[in-house]
Chains A and B, each alone.
Chain A
Amino acid sequence: MTALLTAATDPSAPAPAAVPVTMAAALNAALADSLAADERVLIFGEDVGTLGGVFRVTDGLAARFGEQRVFDTPLAESGIIGTAIGMAMNGLIPVVEMQFDAFAYPAFEQITSHLAKLHNRTRGHVRLPVVVRIPFGGGIGGVEHHSDSSEAYYVHTAGLRVVAPGTPADAYRLLRQSIECPDPVIFLEPKRRYWSKETAALTMDGPGIDRAVIRRPGRDVTLIAYGGMVDTAAEAAEAAAGEWDIEVIDLRSLSPFDDATLAESVCRTGRAVVVHEAPGFAGYGAEVVARLTQQCFHYLEAPILRVTGLDIPYPPPHLEHLHLPDADRILDTIAQLQWGDHA
């Protein structure tokens, strides 16, 4: 799998061909290519070595690059982040995995008090180019602690970049960009999309790490999503095709926020809806709404609305469909945007 998907790093090599690829395979290729491109890159975490990760994102990497560069650690998340910080201080580029969103919480102090702040604390002397990969979100029928959307905790911490890919090809690009980024990056992988396929060439060409992209242009309303909700938003846009021409924006970078791309779109369409799985209360969408309301107020035809998870702890598998935004709920919300003719 790895060898087939590995993009050429030699600029004179022919451009990689478009092939059907899952997000998990694209992430695997990004890790392999980063390991091949820069000997300072290391991968470690729980079960990432011999097993290849519980989602197989690191499959085959330990065998190919050796146990000095891809290795299992003791089962301790604070230890993984804390030692990654020390390794980065000594010139390495650790790419570490937190096995599941809620299992990253023991590392919260290391992430918020040190990973995010050492660069600032030392006036830029200490750089921490660490990537923390976190499978996040629900939709996989996981039992408790396996489906959290924890992005708000991280975006609230200055010093961290927080990104979430929505498509396989972008997962490759964004992960490689994150590994090349000199800032610490929280890399949120929408685990419900690990097995989504896309026919695409894996390349770093395209939007930069901090840019949002318009996945589907439209005239009537801007539908803003990230991670696992990008596909859901696209599905809603397709379903509404006869009624509304929906523009779908994939944020990619949650922090920093791409104000320019978002404000341009919302000022143009005059309407917007933000979608995320996480609970709405003090959720990431609140920040998006506040920023865009301030920047686009005189262009808005209706208040910017949110479609979010309920304000509840993540539900058990048989109830999660009630919690997660879907295309119907998105369209119901778009219908509330004071359409006049449509009302």
Chain B
Amino acid sequence: MTTLLTPPTSAESLLPSTMPLQLIDPDGQAGRSQGELALPEPGILLELHRRMVLGRRFDRQATMLTRQGRLAVYPSSRGQDGCQVGAVLALREQDWLFPTYRDTVAVVTRGVDAAEALSLLRGDWHCGYDPYQYRVAPQCTPLATNTLHAVGLAHAARLKQQDQVALVLLGDGATSEGDTHEALNFAAVWQAPVVFLVQNNGYAISVPLAKQTAAPTLAAKGVGYGIPSMLIDGNDAAAVYSAVRSCVDRAAAGQGPALIEALTYRMEAHTNADDAGRYRADGEVQAWLARDPIARLEAYLRSAGLLDERAARQVAAEADRLAERVRDRMNREVRTDPGDLFAHVYTRPTAALEQQRDALLSELGESAP
């Protein structure tokens, strides 16, 4: 079926650009890039800025909550805010997001309640939200395994003739996993409406990209699968938005999957439990600070007269209110129900599980429901 309709593609047409696509440079200047991507309209740029400020504040609050013992662990998104906010805002209402543990800012940007999003990291349940409510899959911990789920969901949408695209987030480390290979291949063979966004932050915990791959770029891998690829500046939220949006539109139009590599940097350690000083130099981190995605977009917005001091203060105040809400919610007593351990293993508990539940509840001095 698809083989007859697929036009012959040349390898060259699938290759990413040599230099990462950029719409706003680190100094906040726009208009130097050529072709391919257009700068999003001002309303979208303002929203990208606002959501990044909110996301960054949320992220900082979550990191502080680990120090207070309120969260078991938190893998920070700081530095990757441009990727996560830009990509999520490019999705349409009906599309699906498949995030990893690194992507909590993407999850809250999609609209997931902040406290529900932190359930996993707080430790009261593995996933605190209903994936169908937000069309956000549970944050995935085993690397690259979510890529296949995204391909399957997208292919199902196509079989059901639903206009729906899946966006899957993965990191540079995940590109070494076999599932990424299988997912790219399945997506290409099926022409599934799925967009792969690799946030290349330079490290898989401590292992630098040079030990991860010998490929010229991660985006260059797309050609081997027959998937068109883009290399973009991941700290340019405008470029991320435009790139993801163009790939979503393309997929929705029945033109198949796309692979985007966004070059970015993880400003914090892998998690609060990690010591990044053991594997990377301070100078490197400082250099990336100068490429900060929020500062860059804010510089552009101010110079273009789209954002003034008053509006910036409003956004900052909104971020503080968000942080306060998150803090309040997370400072409340953790409420868990021992019955939950048995309730969802199967759609209906087996007789053996009901026995174990009753034994546990009686051990706890409670009565069975």
Binding site for B on A (CB under 8 A): 42, 67-68, 73-74, 76, 78-79, 81-92, 106, 109-110, 113-114, 117-127, 158-159, 161, 182-183, 210, 256-257, 259-260
B160 / chain A contacts, CB cutoff of 8 Å = 90-92
In the complex, the chain B residue whose C-beta lies closest to that of A129 is B347
Contact of B152 with A122 in the complex, beta carbons under 8 Å: no
Contact of A161 with B153 in the complex, beta carbons under 8 Å: no
Contact of B178 with A106 in the complex, beta carbons under 8 Å: yes
A256 / chain B contacts, CB cutoff of 8 Å = 350-352
Contact of A76 with B153 in the complex, beta carbons under 8 Å: no
Contact of A109 with B182 in the complex, beta carbons under 8 Å: no
A84 to B159, CA, bound (A): 13
Given contacts A74-B189, A83-B148, A90-B157, whether A126 and B179 have CB atoms under 8 Å apart is no
A90 / chain B contacts, CB cutoff of 8 Å = 152-153, 156-157, 160, 164
Binding site for A on B (CB under 8 A): 1, 125-127, 130-132, 137-138, 142, 145, 147-157, 159-160, 164, 166, 178-179, 182-183, 185-186, 189, 340, 343-347, 350-352
Contact of B347 with A82 in the complex, beta carbons under 8 Å: no
Specify which of B127, B186, B347 is in contact with A83 (CB 8 Å cutoff).
B186
A91 / chain B contacts, CB cutoff of 8 Å = 156, 160
Specify which of A85, A106, A257 is in contact with B149 (CB 8 Å cutoff).
A85
A121 / chain B contacts, CB cutoff of 8 Å = 126-127, 138
A90 to B151, CA, bound (A): 11
B259 vs chain A, min Cβ distance (A): 16
A127 to B345, CA, bound (A): 11
A87 to B186, CA, bound (A): 13
A86 to B98, CA, bound (A): 10
Q: Knowing that A76-B182, A110-B148, A260-B351 are A-B contacts, what are 11 other residue pairs whose CB atoms are under 8 Å apart, sorted by A's residue number? A: A42-B159, A67-B1, A78-B179, A79-B151, A81-B148, A86-B166, A87-B153, A114-B142, A122-B130, A122-B344, A259-B351
A173 to B51, CA, bound (A): 54
B344 / chain A contacts, CB cutoff of 8 Å = 119-120, 122-124
Contact of B153 with A89 in the complex, beta carbons under 8 Å: yes
Contact of A120 with B132 in the complex, beta carbons under 8 Å: no
B15 vs chain A, min Cβ distance (A): 22
A122 / chain B contacts, CB cutoff of 8 Å = 126-127, 130-131, 138, 344
Specify which of B138, B178, B179 is in contact with A118 (CB 8 Å cutoff).
B138
Contact of A79 with B138 in the complex, beta carbons under 8 Å: no
In the complex, the chain B residue whose C-beta lies closest to that of A84 is B152
A259 / chain B contacts, CB cutoff of 8 Å = 351-352
A73 to B152, CA, bound (A): 12
B279 vs chain A, min Cβ distance (A): 27
A92 to B186, CA, bound (A): 18
Given contacts A109-B142, A120-B126, A125-B132, whether A86 and B153 have CB atoms under 8 Å apart is yes
Most buried by B among A79, A88, A117, A161: A79
Q: Closest 5 A-B residue pairs measured CB to CB?
A: A86-B152, A82-B148, A83-B152, A79-B182, A90-B156
B256 vs chain A, min Cβ distance (A): 15
A296 to B155, CA, bound (A): 51
B129 vs chain A, min Cβ distance (A): 8
Secondary structure at chain B's binding surface: helix, strand, loop or mixed? helix
A288 vs chain B, min Cβ distance (A): 13
Contact of A124 with B343 in the complex, beta carbons under 8 Å: yes
B193 vs chain A, min Cβ distance (A): 12
Contact of A78 with B127 in the complex, beta carbons under 8 Å: no
Contact of B148 with A78 in the complex, beta carbons under 8 Å: yes
B183 / chain A contacts, CB cutoff of 8 Å = 79, 82-83
Given contacts A90-B153, A118-B138, whether A123 and B185 have CB atoms under 8 Å apart is no
A252 to B153, CA, bound (A): 32
Contact of A82 with B151 in the complex, beta carbons under 8 Å: yes
Contact of A210 with B350 in the complex, beta carbons under 8 Å: yes
B345 / chain A contacts, CB cutoff of 8 Å = 119-120, 158-159
Contact of B156 with A78 in the complex, beta carbons under 8 Å: no
A260 to B347, CA, bound (A): 21
B185 / chain A contacts, CB cutoff of 8 Å = 74, 76, 79
Given contacts A90-B153, A259-B352, whether A123 and B125 have CB atoms under 8 Å apart is yes
A129 to B7, CA, bound (A): 36
Contact of B145 with A110 in the complex, beta carbons under 8 Å: yes
B132 / chain A contacts, CB cutoff of 8 Å = 125-126
B125 / chain A contacts, CB cutoff of 8 Å = 123
Contact of B148 with A73 in the complex, beta carbons under 8 Å: no
Contact of A113 with B138 in the complex, beta carbons under 8 Å: no
A81 to B152, CA, bound (A): 9
A74 to B182, CA, bound (A): 8
Contact of B155 with A83 in the complex, beta carbons under 8 Å: yes
- Listed by A's residue number, 13 A-B pairs whose Cβ atoms lie within 8 Å are A67-B1, A78-B148, A78-B182, A81-B148, A82-B147, A83-B152, A83-B155, A89-B156, A90-B152, A121-B126, A123-B343, A125-B131, A126-B131
Contact of A89 with B149 in the complex, beta carbons under 8 Å: yes
Contact of B347 with A86 in the complex, beta carbons under 8 Å: no
A120 / chain B contacts, CB cutoff of 8 Å = 126, 344-345
B347 / chain A contacts, CB cutoff of 8 Å = 119, 124, 127, 182-183
A183 to B125, CA, bound (A): 20
In the complex, the chain A residue whose C-beta lies closest to that of B178 is A78
A158 to B151, CA, bound (A): 26
A343 vs chain B, min Cβ distance (A): 36
A182 / chain B contacts, CB cutoff of 8 Å = 347
A159 / chain B contacts, CB cutoff of 8 Å = 345-346
Specify which of A73, A113, A183 is in contact with B142 (CB 8 Å cutoff).
A113
In the complex, the chain A residue whose C-beta lies closest to that of B157 is A90
B131 / chain A contacts, CB cutoff of 8 Å = 89, 122, 125-126
A235 vs chain B, min Cβ distance (A): 31
A68 to B158, CA, bound (A): 10
Contact of B151 with A86 in the complex, beta carbons under 8 Å: yes
In the complex, the chain A residue whose C-beta lies closest to that of B166 is A86
A257 to B352, CA, bound (A): 8
A89 / chain B contacts, CB cutoff of 8 Å = 131, 137, 149, 152-153, 156
Contact of B340 with A123 in the complex, beta carbons under 8 Å: yes
A210 to B345, CA, bound (A): 15
